[in-house]
Amino acid sequence: MGEGVAMTFTAQGFSKKFGDLCNSFGNTLDEVAAATGIDIENLQGIKDGNTVPTGDQVLILSEYFKCDLPWLIEDKAENPDVNITVLLRNE
């Protein structure tokens, strides 16, 4: 069997993406907590990079923000939505 490419996931990388998503959508942590059922203290820890989200939390946040799960969990992945925006602006 061939070796797969290792994905890099860090709390800090996820934290940056989570913070960027909150800012892009204009959501407060209170709003995200109310909509997702994830405790506000956990969300604050995730945003600060001090808490590693559980698998369930990652899935819930991916669905809430309607973002690509592989992009969200891979530190070095590029946001596929950015490429679509650039493509549409160039037409």
| DSSP H stretches of helix in the chain | 11-25, 29-36, 40-48, 55-65, 69-73, 80-89
- pLDDT, one tens digit per residue, over 2-31 is 455 566 888 899 999 999 999 999 999 999
CA torsion angle 20 70 53 12 (round to 10)? -50
Query: What pLDDT, on the 0 to 100 scale, is given for residue 70?
Result: 87
pTM comes to 0.77
Q: What is the C-alpha separation between 35 and 37, in angstroms, rounded?
A: 6
Query: What pLDDT, on the 0 to 100 scale, is given for residue 74?
Result: 86
Give the CB-side neighbour count of residue 56, counting CA atoms within 13 A. Answer: 5
